[in-house]
Protein backbone atom coordinates (compact mmCIF):
# COMPACT_ATOMS: atom_id res chain seq x y z
CA UNK A 1 0.00 0.00 0.00
CA UNK A 2 2.82 2.35 0.93
CA UNK A 3 4.56 1.59 -2.38
CA UNK A 4 1.35 2.35 -4.32
CA UNK A 5 0.98 5.69 -2.54
CA UNK A 6 4.58 6.54 -3.32
CA UNK A 7 4.08 5.74 -7.04
CA UNK A 8 0.87 7.77 -7.12
CA UNK A 9 2.65 10.73 -5.56
CA UNK A 10 5.50 10.44 -8.04
CA UNK A 11 3.04 10.52 -10.95
CA UNK A 12 1.73 13.83 -9.64
CA UNK A 13 5.10 15.38 -8.83
CA UNK A 14 7.21 14.16 -11.76
CA UNK A 15 5.43 16.24 -14.47
CA UNK A 16 5.89 19.38 -12.34
CA UNK A 17 9.56 18.63 -11.70
CA UNK A 18 9.99 17.84 -15.40
CA UNK A 19 8.89 21.37 -16.34
CA UNK A 20 11.20 22.82 -13.69
CA UNK A 21 14.08 20.75 -15.08
CA UNK A 22 13.39 21.85 -18.66
CA UNK A 23 13.13 25.51 -17.69
CA UNK A 24 16.44 25.35 -15.84
CA UNK A 25 18.12 23.68 -18.83
CA UNK A 26 16.72 26.38 -21.13
CA UNK A 27 18.06 29.02 -18.71
CA UNK A 28 21.54 27.45 -18.86
CA UNK A 29 21.34 27.48 -22.65
CA UNK A 30 20.40 31.17 -22.82
CA UNK A 31 23.38 32.18 -20.66
CA UNK A 32 25.67 31.62 -23.66
CA UNK A 33 23.28 31.27 -26.61
CA UNK A 34 23.85 33.08 -29.89
CA UNK A 35 20.53 34.79 -30.57
CA UNK A 36 19.81 36.31 -34.00
CA UNK A 37 17.62 39.34 -33.46
CA UNK A 38 15.65 40.49 -36.53
CA UNK A 39 16.35 43.80 -38.29
CA UNK A 40 14.76 46.80 -36.58
CA UNK A 41 14.01 44.64 -33.54
CA UNK A 42 13.09 47.70 -31.48
CA UNK A 43 10.14 48.26 -33.87
CA UNK A 44 8.77 44.74 -33.40
CA UNK A 45 6.37 43.22 -30.91
CA UNK A 46 7.73 40.29 -28.91
CA UNK A 47 5.79 37.42 -27.36
CA UNK A 48 6.59 34.52 -25.03
CA UNK A 49 4.91 31.36 -23.76
CA UNK A 50 5.98 30.17 -20.33
CA UNK A 51 6.16 26.62 -18.99
CA UNK A 52 2.84 26.85 -17.20
CA UNK A 53 1.05 27.39 -20.50
CA UNK A 54 -1.87 29.79 -20.47
CA UNK A 55 -2.01 33.12 -22.26
CA UNK A 56 0.99 34.33 -24.23
CA UNK A 57 2.90 37.25 -22.75
CA UNK A 58 2.88 39.56 -25.76
CA UNK A 59 3.01 43.29 -26.60
CA UNK A 60 6.57 43.21 -25.23
CA UNK A 61 9.01 45.80 -26.56
CA UNK A 62 12.80 45.72 -26.25
CA UNK A 63 15.04 48.75 -26.65
CA UNK A 64 18.44 47.02 -26.67
CA UNK A 65 19.99 43.66 -27.47
CA UNK A 66 21.01 43.41 -23.82
CA UNK A 67 17.35 43.60 -22.77
CA UNK A 68 16.49 40.68 -25.07
CA UNK A 69 19.29 38.50 -23.69
CA UNK A 70 18.55 39.39 -20.07
CA UNK A 71 14.86 38.52 -20.51
CA UNK A 72 15.69 35.12 -22.00
CA UNK A 73 18.20 34.33 -19.23
CA UNK A 74 15.88 35.43 -16.45
CA UNK A 75 12.54 33.97 -17.65
CA UNK A 76 13.80 31.06 -19.81
CA UNK A 77 10.48 30.85 -21.71
CA UNK A 78 9.30 27.67 -23.39
CA UNK A 79 8.66 29.52 -26.67
CA UNK A 80 10.01 32.87 -27.92
CA UNK A 81 8.58 34.93 -30.78
CA UNK A 82 8.85 38.28 -32.51
CA UNK A 83 6.40 39.94 -34.89
CA UNK A 84 6.90 39.80 -38.65
CA UNK A 85 5.55 43.36 -38.61
CA UNK A 86 7.21 46.67 -37.85
CA UNK A 87 5.29 49.12 -35.66
CA UNK A 88 5.66 52.70 -34.53
CA UNK A 89 4.52 51.65 -31.03
CA UNK A 90 5.10 47.85 -30.76
CA UNK A 91 4.42 47.81 -27.02
CA UNK A 92 0.85 49.13 -27.36
CA UNK A 93 -1.92 46.70 -26.42
CA UNK A 94 -4.08 47.10 -29.56
CA UNK A 95 -3.15 46.76 -33.23
CA UNK A 96 -4.63 50.18 -34.01
CA UNK A 97 -2.42 51.85 -31.41
CA UNK A 98 0.69 50.00 -32.60
CA UNK A 99 0.54 51.75 -36.03
CA UNK A 100 1.61 49.10 -38.57
CA UNK A 101 4.57 50.12 -40.79
CA UNK A 102 5.09 46.99 -42.89
CA UNK A 103 5.89 43.30 -42.45
CA UNK A 104 8.34 40.67 -43.61
CA UNK A 105 6.91 38.07 -45.98
CA UNK A 106 6.88 34.68 -44.25
CA UNK A 107 6.56 31.15 -45.63
CA UNK A 108 5.93 28.55 -42.92
CA UNK A 109 6.36 24.99 -44.18
CA UNK A 110 5.10 22.48 -41.63
CA UNK A 111 5.07 18.71 -42.07
CA UNK A 112 1.60 18.58 -40.51
CA UNK A 113 0.19 20.49 -43.50
CA UNK A 114 1.50 18.15 -46.20
CA UNK A 115 -0.99 15.87 -48.00
CA UNK A 116 1.40 13.01 -47.16
CA UNK A 117 0.53 13.44 -43.46
CA UNK A 118 -2.41 11.12 -44.14
CA UNK A 119 0.06 8.46 -45.27
CA UNK A 120 1.87 8.79 -41.92
CA UNK A 121 -1.41 8.32 -40.03
CA UNK A 122 -2.08 5.15 -42.03
CA UNK A 123 1.42 3.86 -41.30
CA UNK A 124 2.41 3.87 -44.98
CA UNK A 125 5.38 6.20 -44.51
CA UNK A 126 7.41 7.25 -41.45
CA UNK A 127 7.40 10.71 -39.90
CA UNK A 128 11.13 10.93 -40.68
CA UNK A 129 10.25 10.50 -44.35
CA UNK A 130 7.67 13.27 -44.01
CA UNK A 131 10.37 15.56 -42.58
CA UNK A 132 12.48 14.81 -45.67
CA UNK A 133 9.55 15.87 -47.85
CA UNK A 134 9.14 19.19 -46.03
CA UNK A 135 12.89 19.90 -46.23
CA UNK A 136 12.83 19.13 -49.96
CA UNK A 137 9.84 21.46 -50.43
CA UNK A 138 11.68 24.23 -48.57
CA UNK A 139 14.71 23.67 -50.80
CA UNK A 140 12.55 24.05 -53.93
CA UNK A 141 10.75 27.10 -52.51
CA UNK A 142 14.08 28.83 -51.91
CA UNK A 143 16.01 27.77 -55.02
CA UNK A 144 13.33 27.39 -57.70
CA UNK A 145 10.85 30.10 -56.65
CA UNK A 146 12.45 32.78 -54.48
CA UNK A 147 16.02 32.83 -55.82
CA UNK A 148 15.00 31.53 -59.25
CA UNK A 149 11.67 32.80 -60.56
CA UNK A 150 11.37 35.81 -58.24
CA UNK A 151 15.03 36.78 -58.68
CA UNK A 152 15.64 37.49 -54.99
CA UNK A 153 19.13 37.61 -53.53
CA UNK A 154 20.37 35.34 -50.75
CA UNK A 155 20.79 38.40 -48.51
CA UNK A 156 17.03 39.07 -48.80
CA UNK A 157 16.21 35.74 -47.12
CA UNK A 158 16.49 34.21 -43.68
CA UNK A 159 15.88 30.45 -43.57
CA UNK A 160 15.37 28.63 -40.29
CA UNK A 161 14.49 25.18 -39.05
CA UNK A 162 11.51 25.92 -36.78
CA UNK A 163 12.70 23.67 -33.96
CA UNK A 164 9.56 21.58 -34.46
CA UNK A 165 8.23 20.02 -37.65
CA UNK A 166 9.22 22.36 -40.43
CA UNK A 167 10.98 25.43 -41.74
CA UNK A 168 10.44 29.20 -41.88
CA UNK A 169 11.56 31.39 -44.76
CA UNK A 170 11.65 35.14 -44.04
CA UNK A 171 11.71 37.49 -47.06
CA UNK A 172 12.89 40.99 -46.07
CA UNK A 173 13.46 42.78 -49.35
CA UNK A 174 11.88 46.29 -49.17
CA UNK A 175 9.51 45.52 -52.07
CA UNK A 176 7.49 42.99 -50.02
CA UNK A 177 7.15 44.89 -46.74
CA UNK A 178 4.00 46.81 -47.74
CA UNK A 179 2.22 43.88 -49.43
CA UNK A 180 -1.37 43.50 -48.16
CA UNK A 181 -2.70 40.18 -46.86
CA UNK A 182 -4.53 39.33 -50.09
CA UNK A 183 -1.40 39.62 -52.22
CA UNK A 184 0.51 37.46 -49.75
CA UNK A 185 -2.17 34.75 -49.90
CA UNK A 186 -1.99 34.83 -53.70
CA UNK A 187 1.72 34.08 -53.46
CA UNK A 188 0.91 31.11 -51.23
CA UNK A 189 -1.67 29.90 -53.79
CA UNK A 190 0.95 30.24 -56.53
CA UNK A 191 3.23 27.81 -54.68
CA UNK A 192 0.51 25.14 -54.58
CA UNK A 193 -0.45 25.53 -58.25
CA UNK A 194 -3.98 26.48 -57.20
CA UNK A 195 -6.02 27.73 -60.17
CA UNK A 196 -3.21 26.93 -62.62
CA UNK A 197 -4.38 26.86 -66.27
CA UNK A 198 -3.04 23.62 -67.74
CA UNK A 199 -3.18 25.03 -71.27
CA UNK A 200 -1.04 28.05 -70.44
CA UNK A 201 1.87 26.19 -68.83
CA UNK A 202 2.61 24.25 -72.03
CA UNK A 203 3.87 25.70 -75.33
CA UNK A 204 1.85 25.77 -78.53
CA UNK A 205 3.49 23.20 -80.82
CA UNK A 206 2.54 25.32 -83.86
CA UNK A 207 0.99 22.39 -85.71
CA UNK A 208 -1.60 23.43 -88.27
CA UNK A 209 -3.86 21.69 -90.76
CA UNK A 210 -5.69 22.87 -93.84
CA UNK A 211 -9.47 22.57 -93.77
CA UNK A 212 -12.01 23.32 -96.48
CA UNK A 213 -14.56 25.84 -95.26
CA UNK A 214 -17.72 26.31 -97.30
CA UNK A 215 -17.73 29.69 -98.97
CA UNK A 216 -14.10 30.37 -98.05
CA UNK A 217 -12.18 27.51 -99.51
CA UNK A 218 -9.02 26.14 -97.83
CA UNK A 219 -8.32 27.58 -94.35
CA UNK A 220 -5.31 26.66 -92.20
CA UNK A 221 -6.15 26.20 -88.52
CA UNK A 222 -4.02 25.64 -85.43
CA UNK A 223 -4.58 22.13 -84.04
CA UNK A 224 -4.05 23.27 -80.45
CA UNK A 225 -1.34 20.68 -79.87
CA UNK A 226 1.13 21.36 -77.08
CA UNK A 227 4.79 20.68 -76.42
CA UNK A 228 6.98 20.62 -73.32
CA UNK A 229 8.63 23.95 -72.35
CA UNK A 230 12.38 24.23 -71.78
CA UNK A 231 13.56 23.25 -68.29
CA UNK A 232 14.89 26.78 -67.72
CA UNK A 233 11.53 28.42 -68.52
CA UNK A 234 10.21 30.80 -65.88
CA UNK A 235 7.33 30.10 -63.52
CA UNK A 236 5.25 26.95 -63.52
CA UNK A 237 6.23 26.17 -67.13
CA UNK A 238 9.81 25.55 -66.02
CA UNK A 239 8.77 23.85 -62.76
CA UNK A 240 6.57 21.36 -64.63
CA UNK A 241 9.12 20.80 -67.38
CA UNK A 242 11.78 19.90 -64.81
CA UNK A 243 9.38 17.62 -62.94
CA UNK A 244 8.20 15.82 -66.13
CA UNK A 245 11.83 15.36 -67.22
CA UNK A 246 12.54 13.87 -63.78
CA UNK A 247 9.55 11.51 -64.12
CA UNK A 248 10.82 10.18 -67.47
CA UNK A 249 14.40 9.86 -66.16
CA UNK A 250 13.16 7.83 -63.19
CA UNK A 251 11.06 5.59 -65.47
CA UNK A 252 14.25 4.52 -67.28
CA UNK A 253 15.60 3.12 -64.00
CA UNK A 254 12.84 0.48 -64.01
CA UNK A 255 12.28 -2.62 -66.12
CA UNK A 256 9.65 -5.30 -66.60
CA UNK A 257 6.99 -5.47 -63.91
CA UNK A 258 8.38 -2.48 -62.00
CA UNK A 259 8.22 -0.33 -65.15
CA UNK A 260 4.66 -1.45 -65.81
CA UNK A 261 3.66 -0.47 -62.25
CA UNK A 262 5.37 2.93 -62.53
CA UNK A 263 3.63 3.63 -65.83
CA UNK A 264 0.31 2.70 -64.25
CA UNK A 265 0.94 5.19 -61.43
CA UNK A 266 1.25 8.02 -63.95
CA UNK A 267 -1.62 6.70 -66.11
CA UNK A 268 0.54 5.73 -69.09
CA UNK A 269 0.99 2.48 -70.95
CA UNK A 270 4.09 0.92 -72.48
CA UNK A 271 2.41 1.01 -75.87
CA UNK A 272 2.22 4.83 -75.97
CA UNK A 273 5.66 5.70 -74.63
CA UNK A 274 9.13 5.09 -76.08
CA UNK A 275 11.78 5.66 -73.42
CA UNK A 276 14.56 5.51 -76.03
CA UNK A 277 13.46 8.95 -77.23
CA UNK A 278 14.44 12.25 -75.62
CA UNK A 279 12.16 13.43 -72.82
CA UNK A 280 10.64 16.31 -74.78
CA UNK A 281 10.02 14.01 -77.77
CA UNK A 282 8.22 11.51 -75.52
CA UNK A 283 5.95 14.19 -74.07
CA UNK A 284 5.28 15.92 -77.40
CA UNK A 285 4.23 12.62 -78.99
CA UNK A 286 1.57 11.94 -76.33
CA UNK A 287 -2.09 12.66 -76.97
CA UNK A 288 -3.61 15.75 -75.33
CA UNK A 289 -5.34 13.52 -72.77
CA UNK A 290 -2.11 11.84 -71.66
CA UNK A 291 -0.27 15.16 -71.62
CA UNK A 292 -2.90 16.65 -69.29
CA UNK A 293 -2.76 13.62 -67.00
CA UNK A 294 1.01 13.94 -66.77
CA UNK A 295 0.83 17.69 -66.11
CA UNK A 296 -1.70 17.12 -63.28
CA UNK A 297 0.60 14.53 -61.70
CA UNK A 298 3.60 16.85 -62.08
CA UNK A 299 1.69 19.72 -60.43
CA UNK A 300 0.80 17.46 -57.50
CA UNK A 301 4.44 16.38 -57.08
CA UNK A 302 5.93 19.86 -57.61
CA UNK A 303 3.46 21.78 -55.43
CA UNK A 304 4.79 23.52 -52.33
CA UNK A 305 2.46 23.88 -49.34
CA UNK A 306 3.26 26.88 -47.13
CA UNK A 307 0.77 27.53 -44.33
CA UNK A 308 -1.48 30.12 -46.03
CA UNK A 309 -2.80 31.78 -42.82
CA UNK A 310 0.80 32.44 -41.73
CA UNK A 311 1.83 33.93 -45.09
CA UNK A 312 -1.28 36.12 -45.21
CA UNK A 313 -1.08 37.38 -41.61
CA UNK A 314 0.74 40.74 -41.50
CA UNK A 315 0.64 40.77 -37.67
CA UNK A 316 1.95 37.24 -37.14
CA UNK A 317 4.46 36.30 -34.46
CA UNK A 318 7.25 33.98 -35.65
CA UNK A 319 9.86 31.98 -33.71
CA UNK A 320 13.04 33.80 -32.72
CA UNK A 321 16.13 32.36 -34.48
CA UNK A 322 18.53 30.89 -31.94
CA UNK A 323 15.79 30.32 -29.35
CA UNK A 324 14.65 26.90 -28.14
CA UNK A 325 11.38 25.18 -29.05
CA UNK A 326 9.58 24.18 -25.85
CA UNK A 327 7.89 21.27 -27.59
CA UNK A 328 11.13 19.58 -28.64
CA UNK A 329 14.12 21.22 -26.94
CA UNK A 330 15.62 21.74 -30.40
CA UNK A 331 17.15 25.04 -31.50
CA UNK A 332 15.45 27.33 -34.04
CA UNK A 333 18.40 27.08 -36.40
CA UNK A 334 19.46 29.48 -39.16
CA UNK A 335 20.37 27.71 -42.41
CA UNK A 336 22.12 28.94 -45.56
CA UNK A 337 20.33 28.05 -48.80
CA UNK A 338 23.13 25.71 -49.91
CA UNK A 339 22.87 23.81 -46.59
CA UNK A 340 19.18 23.01 -47.02
CA UNK A 341 19.66 20.00 -49.28
CA UNK A 342 21.46 17.98 -46.59
CA UNK A 343 20.23 19.65 -43.40
CA UNK A 344 19.52 17.21 -40.56
CA UNK A 345 17.84 18.77 -37.48
CA UNK A 346 18.88 15.80 -35.36
CA UNK A 347 22.48 16.85 -35.96
CA UNK A 348 22.46 20.61 -36.53
CA UNK A 349 19.61 21.73 -34.22
CA UNK A 350 20.78 19.88 -31.09
CA UNK A 351 21.36 22.27 -28.18
CA UNK A 352 22.23 19.85 -25.35
CA UNK A 353 24.87 17.26 -24.57
CA UNK A 354 25.58 13.68 -23.58
CA UNK A 355 25.16 13.85 -19.78
CA UNK A 356 22.98 10.83 -18.75
CA UNK A 357 19.46 11.61 -17.50
CA UNK A 358 16.97 9.07 -16.15
CA UNK A 359 13.44 9.39 -17.54
CA UNK A 360 10.13 7.55 -17.21
CA UNK A 361 8.28 6.76 -20.43
CA UNK A 362 4.58 7.73 -20.59
CA UNK A 363 3.95 6.74 -24.22
CA UNK A 364 1.60 4.03 -25.44
CA UNK A 365 3.78 3.02 -28.39
CA UNK A 366 7.51 3.23 -29.26
CA UNK A 367 8.86 6.67 -30.23
CA UNK A 368 12.31 7.81 -31.26
CA UNK A 369 14.56 10.81 -31.63
CA UNK A 370 15.92 10.09 -35.09
CA UNK A 371 18.76 7.59 -34.74
CA UNK A 372 19.83 9.02 -31.37
CA UNK A 373 17.52 7.21 -28.94
CA UNK A 374 14.34 5.16 -28.79
CA UNK A 375 11.72 5.18 -26.03
CA UNK A 376 9.57 2.15 -25.30
CA UNK A 377 6.23 2.23 -23.44
CA UNK A 378 6.20 2.09 -19.63
CA UNK A 379 9.95 1.92 -19.13
CA UNK A 380 12.52 3.78 -17.04
CA UNK A 381 15.71 4.44 -19.00
CA UNK A 382 18.88 6.49 -18.85
CA UNK A 383 19.53 8.43 -22.05
CA UNK A 384 21.80 11.32 -23.12
CA UNK A 385 20.58 14.72 -21.94
CA UNK A 386 19.77 15.82 -25.52
CA UNK A 387 17.40 12.85 -25.92
CA UNK A 388 15.92 13.20 -22.43
CA UNK A 389 15.07 16.86 -23.05
CA UNK A 390 13.58 15.99 -26.45
CA UNK A 391 11.36 13.22 -25.01
CA UNK A 392 10.29 15.32 -22.02
CA UNK A 393 9.57 18.41 -24.14
CA UNK A 394 7.44 16.21 -26.41
CA UNK A 395 5.59 15.06 -23.26
CA UNK A 396 6.58 11.48 -23.98
CA UNK A 397 8.50 11.11 -20.71
CA UNK A 398 8.97 12.61 -17.26
CA UNK A 399 12.07 13.14 -15.18
CA UNK A 400 12.62 10.28 -12.71
CA UNK A 401 12.88 11.52 -9.14
CA UNK A 402 15.35 9.58 -7.04
CA UNK A 403 13.73 8.35 -3.80
Q: Is 104 a catalytic residue?
A: no
Q: Could you give the CA distance from residue 301 to residue 137 in angstroms, rounded to a whole number?
A: 10
| Angle formed by the axes of helices 235-251 and 256-265, nearest 10° | 160
Beta carbons within 10 angstroms of residue 282's beta carbon:
22
Of 104, 108, 156, 313, the active-site residue reads 108
Of 104, 156, 307, 313, the active-site residue reads 307
Give the CA radius of gyration of the chain: 27
CA nearest to 384, candidates 364, 361, 354, 347: 354
Contact criterion met (CB below 8 Å) for 104 and 43: no
Q: Which residues of 188-208 are buried (b: 16+ CB within 10 A; e: fewer)?
A: bebbbbeebeeeebbeeeeee
* Torsion angle defined by CA atoms of residues 359, 361, 367 and 369, in that order, rounded to the nearest 10 degrees: -10
Contact criterion met (CB below 8 Å) for 328 and 394: yes
Q: Is 307 a catalytic residue?
A: yes
Q: Could you give the CA distance from residue 122 to residue 114 in angstroms, rounded to a whole number?
A: 14
Contact criterion met (CB below 8 Å) for 142 and 154: no
Q: E-assigned strands of 27-103?
A: 46-49, 57-60, 79-83, 85-87, 100-103
Of 20, 97, 104, 110, the active-site residue reads 110
Contact criterion met (CB below 8 Å) for 169 and 106: yes
Q: Which residues are catalytic?
A: 108, 110, 307
Amino acid sequence: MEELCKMSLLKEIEPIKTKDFLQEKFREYYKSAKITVPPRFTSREWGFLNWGGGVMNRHVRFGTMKEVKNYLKKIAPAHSYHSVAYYKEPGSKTMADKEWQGADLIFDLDADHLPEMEEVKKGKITFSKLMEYIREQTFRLVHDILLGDFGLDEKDLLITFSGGRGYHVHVRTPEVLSLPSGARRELSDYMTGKGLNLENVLIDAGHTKEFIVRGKGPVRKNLGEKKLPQTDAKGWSGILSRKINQIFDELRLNKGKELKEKLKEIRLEKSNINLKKKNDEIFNSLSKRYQKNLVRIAIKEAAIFPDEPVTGDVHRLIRLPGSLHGGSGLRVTTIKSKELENFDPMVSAIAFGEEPVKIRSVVEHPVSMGNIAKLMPKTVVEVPEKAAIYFMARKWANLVLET
